[in-house]
Every structure is written in C-alpha cells, then in structure tokens.
Structure 1
Amino acid sequence: MATLRFDTRVTQDPDRVWAVLTDVSMIPAWFPAVQEAHFDGVHRHLITPEGKLKAIVVTKNDELRRFQYRFVEGFPRPIEFHLGTIDVLPDGDGSRVVYSQEILPESLAPIVERAVGDGIEGIARYFATHP
C-alpha cells in the first residue's frame, strides 16, 4: 500500500482552517484540480478537468479536526483501497495541516501524489491570501 503525507503551516486559527477545509463548496478555492464541488449528504462530488470523482465521507470529527474520505468512483483505474485524511492541528499561533493518503494499487500513487501535493500548496496559498 502506498502511503503519502504532506503538511503545511498557516497563520490562521485551527477552527477557521477547519471550517474552510471541511466546507465542500470551498474545495475549488484551495484545490487547483477541482472546478466544482458539492455534498449530497453522503458523498462529496468533485468535477475536475479529467472528469467526475465521488467520495464517501468516512470521518468528520470536529473535536479532533479530522476529516477522512474514500474515493468510490471516477479514478482512471480501479481502486482497491483509498483513504484520504486531513488533520488540522494547533501549531503555535497558527495551524498545521497534515494531508495524507493511503492507496492501493500502488500504481495510483503518482497520480494521487501530484494532486495532493498541489492541494497542500493550494491550502498554503489560500490562507496566505485570505488572512
């Protein structure tokens, strides 16, 4: 299984960061590959230049500020297992965002690594321009 982890530090309060990152409608503001996003109560639906992705929400824990999801449709090749995790942690006077992915088959890791790498950079950019 491929495991990937990215992180960034932002100067905003963890509750504010959490609110932005868990608002599905805000995903296009910080994740460059996503053009549109909505939540139907069970699944997050994302539209990218490559097509549509569908993910089920596994965990949304406001106390821990942990969000987890699994892609269930839309990858270019079948997924045996996927788990994406976003943690927002207090870090001094700001926040540390840790964005990790676990995926099988491992051959999908480069696709996920590029996308989530862009996503973590997008988080840093968003909060740098939205103090």
Structure 2
Amino acid sequence: MATVRVDAVLSVPVQQVWEAVADVGAVHQRMLPRRVLNVRLDGDHRILTMPDGVEVRELIVAVDHELRRMAYTVVEGQRMPLTYHHASFQVFEDEAGSRLVWQTDVLPHAMAAHVRPRVEVGIREIRDVIEAAAVSAQS
C-alpha cells in the first residue's frame, strides 16, 4: 500500500483547526468549499457532493478529540481507479500555531503519484480557508 503524507503549518491555534477538522458534516464550508459542494451525514457515513454532481460516500472511521485525529475511508464513488483509499487528518501544536497532517493510503501503489498532487493542493486550500475564517472571526 502506498502512503501519501502532506502537512501544512497554520497561523491558527490548534483548537480552532481541530474544530474545523472534527466538524465532519461541514467539510464543504470549513475546509474545502471549492472542492465539495454539499455534505450529508447518514449514520457513520458522510456523502460528499462534488461541484460536478458526483457523490462520494465515506465511512467516518474515527473522530478522536484526545489525539485530534479524524480518519475516513472512501466506500463508494471513487473518482480514481483506486481499490483502497483510507485517509486521516491530525492536528498538532506548532510554534506558528498548528500543524495539520493529511495522510492517505491507497491501492494500487502506482496511484499514489496521481493522488499526491491532489492532496498537496487540497491541504493548501484547507490552510487558506481555515486561516481566512480565523481572520474573519477576529474582525
């Protein structure tokens, strides 16, 4: 299994970043508003509606407030030819504010080369959205 791991430093306190990550029903508002149009929760599943209308169903595996870690796996609607996709976000304290780590495991191995650029762009988008929300909250 191939692992893609990216991280970003945010100038936002760790608790604020964690609150955005842990709010699994609001990823379209708090983390990736340009990538996800809408979210519905169905028990432990999260259904993401993409801007093109495609729906992706994810199983929320864990939301651990003590570790500040949220994990999920895609179970339907995979947008790439992946046979396995599991990912997690974890938030750590950092001298600049916080560090957000996004780790994604995929099969087949070769697909990591296609997943990495999407995750790298995604974490920058998440950083920008969370930092902008923090600035707006201060105003």
TM-score category, normalised to shorter length: 0.7 to 0.9
Structure 2 unaligned runs (5+)?
A: 135-139
Distance in 2 (CA, whole Å) between partners of 1:12 and 1:87 is 14
Residue correspondence of structure 1 range 1-131 to structure 2 within 5 A? 1-29=1-29, 30-31=31-32, 32-48=34-50, 49=52, 51-76=54-79, 79-131=82-134
- Displacement of 1:13 in angstroms is 1.4
Distance in 1 (CA, whole Å) between partners of 2:132 and 2:59 is 30
- Describe the shift of the 1:106–1:55 C-alpha distance in structure 2 as closer, same or farther (beyond 3 A): same
- Displacement of 1:106 in angstroms is 2.6
- Displacement of 1:25 in angstroms is 3.5
- Displacement of 1:121 in angstroms is 1.0
- Describe the shift of the 1:130–1:91 C-alpha distance in structure 2 as closer, same or farther (beyond 3 A): same
- Describe the shift of the 1:107–1:81 C-alpha distance in structure 2 as closer, same or farther (beyond 3 A): same
Distance in 2 (CA, whole Å) between partners of 1:107 and 1:46 is 25
Counting matched residue pairs gives 131
> How large is the RMSD of aligned CA atoms in angstroms?
1.9
User: Residue 4 of structure 1 aligns to which amino acid in structure 2?
Assistant: V
Task: Give the 3-state SS of the residue equivalent to 2:100 in structure 1.
Answer: strand
Does the CA-based 8 Å contact 1:24-1:38 persist in structure 2?
A: no
Structure 1 unaligned runs (5+)?
A: none
Deviations 1:12-67 (A, max 9, x none): 11111111122134312322321111222210110112611001011110000011
Deviations 1:44-94 (A, max 9, x none): 110112611001011110000011100000014554322101000011251
User: Residue 19 of structure 1 aligns to which amino acid in structure 2?
Assistant: E
TM-score, structure 2 as length reference: 0.83
User: Residue 45 of structure 2 aligns to which amino acid in structure 1?
Assistant: H
- Describe the shift of the 1:39–1:112 C-alpha distance in structure 2 as closer, same or farther (beyond 3 A): farther
